[in-house]
Amino acid sequence: MAQTENRLPLTYREAGPREANVLLLIHGFPLSAAMWRPQLETPPAGWRVIAPDLRGFGDSPPAGTDQTTMDAMADDLAALLQGLGIRSATVCGLSMGGYVALALLGRHPARVKGLVLCDTKAGADSDEVRRARLQSAARVLAEGTSSVVDSMLPKLLSPLALRSQPGLEQEVRGIMEAAPAPAVAAALRGMAARPDSTPMLRTINVPTQIIVGADDQITPAGGAQLMVRGIPGARLDIIPEAGHLPNLENTPAFKRVLEGFLATVR
Ligand code: MLT
């Protein structure tokens, strides 16, 4: 685990040659850089992969506030890139990581030279979802992270992936349960407060790839289709035999799509 020298230093994992184009992988909720295991084990040829732990998660320092906004997470990432002397990166965010990727693009556009949005959406929460998130945040603080894990896990992975990879559910559970309750609650409140990013879609002028698992129940393909219609020149690939975490559930198909896209932004 490396650290930057910024005020709120994020820990990160990395793979690939130092002097290469950078692929920044932003994890989902309530996960950590560990969810990018296959992409770190076999990084795309010629790419340096950097996978940070967002504030409060993995080995990064505690969130320190009741609400971690997507903007704060995006600013941490911009500081991380700056601390590493990286001017810009191709940014790949999954689910909450996608919300953060859009915030990074909005706030620090010069840092983003390509975008991969996985199993995510541009819209804000409905009032009902927002209320449920705030209730869930209170419950996590009272009962611990497992309350959120128990409600999310049954919807997270495709039955086909569960059959072909018997150890996957346990691996994902372990990553999620390691997240400290205050960070989980703060991220839930931050997601509830995030703005609608739909209006920015038409202004996105970097190459963009959208990916969604065919069986994603948490951010179903409809949200991906809205994004591909909104972002000029974006393309969408649907990963078969995968739910919300296609990079883990169908790693070969995810790799083909990601590397095909990276070849166009290199
Ligand atoms: C995630 O996987 O990051 C979350 O499910 C995102 C969300 O709850 O909106």
In tens, the pLDDT along 59-70 reads 999 888 999 999
> pLDDT per residue over 9-56, tens digit each?
899 999 999 988 999 999 999 999 999 999 999 999 999 999 999 999
Helix (H) or strand (E) holding 115: strand 112-118
Taking the CA of residue 125 as reference, the ligand 1 atom at the shortest distance is: 9
Quote the ligand 1 centre to 170 CA distance (angstroms).
19
Does residue 103 contact residue 74 with C-beta atoms inside 8 Å? yes
57 C-beta closer than 6 A to ligand 1: no
β-pair partners for 36:
none
Distance CA 151, CA 169 (A): 14
Candidate from 219, 244, 247, 248 with most ligand 1 atoms within 8 A of CB, to mutate: 219
pTM reported for the whole predicted model: 0.96
- Nearest CA owner, ligand 1 atom 7: 96
Distance CA 119, CA 203 (A): 21
Q: Is the peptide bond before 30 cis (omega within 30 degrees of 0)?
A: yes
pLDDT of residue 6: 40
The torsion of the CA quartet 73, 74, 76, 82, rounded to 10 degrees, works out to 170
231, two tokens = 């972002």
- Average pLDDT across the chain, whole number: 95
95 C-beta closer than 6 A to ligand 1: yes
223 C-beta closer than 6 A to ligand 1: no
Quote the ligand 1 centre to 4 CA distance (angstroms).
26
Q: How confident is the model at residue 266 (pLDDT cuts 50, 70, 90)?
A: confident
* Residue 66 vs residues 55, 60, 104, 158, 199: alpha-carbon distances, Å: 12, 16, 21, 33, 28
Residue 5 has pLDDT above 50, yes or no: no
Residue 79 has pLDDT above 60, yes or no: yes
Q: What is the DSSP letter of 9?
A: P
